[in-house]
Structure 1
């Protein structure tokens, strides 16, 4: 058996594998004998089928399987021994025109294309500068958050007249162009939150309404042509919502108002525990602290994204694009040319980032330990459980769930890659210069769009 590499360029090569009959004969004979021992055929006792009979009936298919297995082993061993850093997997050359009889005496030659990982250097230093935003909470954001918290602990009332923060429980009835009720049209009883109305004129028309009052409105204009929102309000499919052009009559059935909770000690204790906060100033300080903590998570995510993009722009190298496109097509049979071309840019970017990650991890002897993977998985699961239950799991329960979660290979690989990415980001953060900049939350939201 002989295997050679023919370099096409720095990113592409062809592996030529020559296999003689002597290379595969022993493997084929053993496979035939093993098959004979397990075969159940009429006229023969179990395990007593002659190998010659098996060879006559199934010999060619067994030969094909064993040559393919030998070929796979040979390629993998060669790539490992030669320390070839390949991308994707070897692809059989489609222009090979050799045909074989598969008669147990053939010599075979197989040609495989391979894509080679590019050589590149990484030279991050303190000369590389990125902005790290420190988010500050402005008065408007703080007031909005406090209002929402107070309302979540408040009580529902039914005032006589609607105000801009109220919810109208109302009947929506589709109208004909002449203003009459459209026979067989859409009709739905639903809750309309006035503050969600996008059009200022329509919003104003819903303020000051009493039970049984009627208002005519353009439903699309009211919700800014938001098809999912229109669909939910009218109780129809989203696919239908975009085509609804007619006006609707809104008939008030009830006005609902969520009154804000009083800023008293009972309220403070419910939120933070007994005696932690004792006055309004302490309450505002606590909410500001919690908001800034949450917002700085957003800042961290932006910094991670900025580092990702900065790295891709700074570390420049080419990929064997045409080979990778062929490989993607070969390994995804249902992938259309349009999908391939549309998604290849993102694929190539992710691959480049993976190569940068690997270079940083190996070049700086960074380790990814099981404890780190376990801790990351545990934290993620804890956050998920808290979304559905206010009572957190015990450490023992959370640990058991984490062990079960990581027993799934796909889950374990996913968390491993997440930890690897964070370790890479942390390394870059430790090398480059991070210029800290204070920014109000609303300004940050615009920046992060």
Structure 2
């Protein structure tokens, strides 16, 4: 057998595999001999069928199978041994007059080669690392929210300006049907709020979504629609009033503090605000990290320049699915997947250049941390090490979970690397400002 490579250009190559009779003859003969031992052909005893008849009946198909197996294994071994980094899979070149009656065969495969490039993490970028602060306005709002949440609801006959109203937003055409608790200060226009005043349970108020709130993103919460749908949404929704209450706020006293955080852990309004600030900023830091990671990725994709074997990949996409695609369909699929492919190559390069590895201990520690957080949400604040380790073992016995968690661990390692090396400017913002930055508004 002889395998050789012809470099077409930097991103494309042709591999030629020449197979001679001596490469496959013994394998074909053994398979046919096994067929002969087990063949049941009328007129012949089992195991006594003439080899010429076996050859005539099964020879071509066995030859095809054995040559194909030999071809695939040899090609794969060659790519590994020669350290040829390819995209997609080798594509066989079709030969119209291929002759299986010959003793020697020659096969050609097209290869799409991974590009050579460098990733400069320390280059100047426009990426910003946000530091989100829970400001006094937010803290006051959160304290008031807690007071209302733990306060007493006093039923009312009619809606007043300070009423708490429970009802359902609906729009049949858009499939909107979402129950919500509202107060009249959520609306941008005071005229909208006045539509509610004096209404009773069972009444329906029709609202225009355009300009309903000071921030269109609130439509996501109140109507349960996607971010892509909120911008410029100009429809009417009905709000059916189902319950009207006046909220008698809870007193900011030790009984409330103990109910919120445990006995004696918070003893004043100042400590309450400090605790709210600590918890909120911990959550904000996670959101800021995710935006930073996403922005660095976008910047790397935009600024790391390299060519791809586009024509090869389009041909490969045509053949890779269950059903062959037309060239037009393949071009469409390629345009959808090109950005993801580029980042996958960039990510692999970063991992290799910086020797980022996932150790099993990393995976166990990450899983244990997630489990403890989940248990804390259900009131289990101090689980034993044995209990956590048992759950970790069960989770990591599932290969799908291992894959998902491994991706999370690698994402954290990438984030730490980006924080260390990427030149990003820092910017302190409150949460409202961060949301505007997040959505580019």
Same-fold call, TM cutoff 0.5? yes
Q: Any residues of structure 2 matched to 1:146-185 within 5 Å, and which?
A: 146-162=143-159, 163=161, 166-168=164-166
Q: Structure 2: any 5+ residue segments left out of the alignment?
A: 226-232
In 1, the alpha carbon distance for the partners of 2:153 and 2:128 equals 45
Measure, in 2, the Cα distance between the counterparts of 1:354 and 1:172.
42
**Stretches of structure 1 lacking an aligned partner (at least 5 in a row):** 175-187, 233-241
> CA shift at 1:364, angstroms?
3.2
Residue 111 of structure 1 corresponds to 108
Deviation at 1:227, TM superposition (A): 11
Quote the offset at 1:299 in angstroms.
0.8
Cα distance change on mapping 1:72 and 1:264 into 2, 3 Å: same
Cα displacement (A) at 1:217: 2.8
Residue of structure 2 in register with 1:23 after alignment = 23
| Secondary structure of 1:166 counterpart | strand
Report the equivalent of 1:255: 244
Matching of residues 371-382 of structure 1 within 5 Å:
371-380=361-370
Q: Secondary structure at the match of 2:433?
A: helix
Higher mean alpha-carbon deviation, 107-116 vs 321-330, is at 321-330
Q: How does 1:265-280 map to 2 (within 5 A)?
A: 265-280=254-269
**Cα-Cα RMSD:** 4.1
Deviation at 1:18, TM superposition (A): 1.5
Q: Give the superposition deviation at 1:270.
A: 2.0
Give runs of aligned pairs for residues 196-275 of structure 1, distance below 5 A: 201-211=191-201, 214=203, 217=206, 254-257=243-246, 259-275=248-264
CA change 1:211–1:421 in 2 (3 A) is: closer
Q: Where does 1:29-428 land on structure 2 (aligned, <5 Å)?
A: 29-35=29-35, 48=47, 52=51, 55-94=55-94, 96-101=95-100, 103=101, 105-125=102-122, 130-162=127-159, 163=161, 166-168=164-166, 193=182, 201-211=191-201, 214=203, 217=206, 254-257=243-246, 259-334=248-323, 340-345=330-335, 347-380=337-370, 389-391=378-380, 395-428=385-418
Of residues 427-436 and 337-346 in structure 1, the stretch that sits farther from structure 2 once superposed is: 337-346
How many pairs does the alignment contain?
421
CA contact (8 A) 2:84 2:113 kept: yes
- Give the corresponding residue for 2:229: none
CA contact (8 A) 2:153 2:247 kept: yes
**Residue in 2 aligned with 1:440?**
430
Quickly say closer, same or farther: Cα 1:78–1:42, change in 2 above 3 A. same
Q: Which stretch has the larger CA shift, 156-165 or 114-123?
A: 156-165
Report if the CA contact (8 A) 1:325-1:340 is conserved. yes
The separation in 2 between residues aligned to 1:133 and 1:172, in whole angstroms, is 37
Contact 1:202 1:217 in 2 (8 A): no
Contact 1:24 1:66 in 2 (8 A): yes
Residues 258 and 266, structure 2, Cα contact 8 Å, conserved in 1? yes
Once residues 43 and 221 of structure 2 are traced to their aligned partners in structure 1, the CA distance between those partners, rounded to angstroms, is 69
Secondary structure (helix, strand or coil) at the match of 1:112 reads strand
CA separation of 1:55/1:189 partners in 2, compared to 1, >3 Å: closer, same or farther? closer
TM-score by length of 2: 0.79
Report deviation, 1:445: 0.7
TM-superposed deviation, 1:89: 1.2
Residues 210, 234 of structure 2: 8 Å contact kept: no
In the aligned structure 2, how far is the partner of 1:50 from the partner of 1:156?
A: 92
Contact 1:41/1:49 (CA < 8 Å) preserved in 2?
Answer: no
Give how far 1:15 is off.
1.0
**Structure 2 CA distance for aligned equivalents of residues 336 and 390 of structure 1:** 56
The Cα offsets for residues 386-426 of structure 1, whole Å up to 9 and x where unpaired, read as: 77x45477654444444344444444334334433432342
Higher mean C-alpha displacement, 70-79 vs 132-141: 132-141
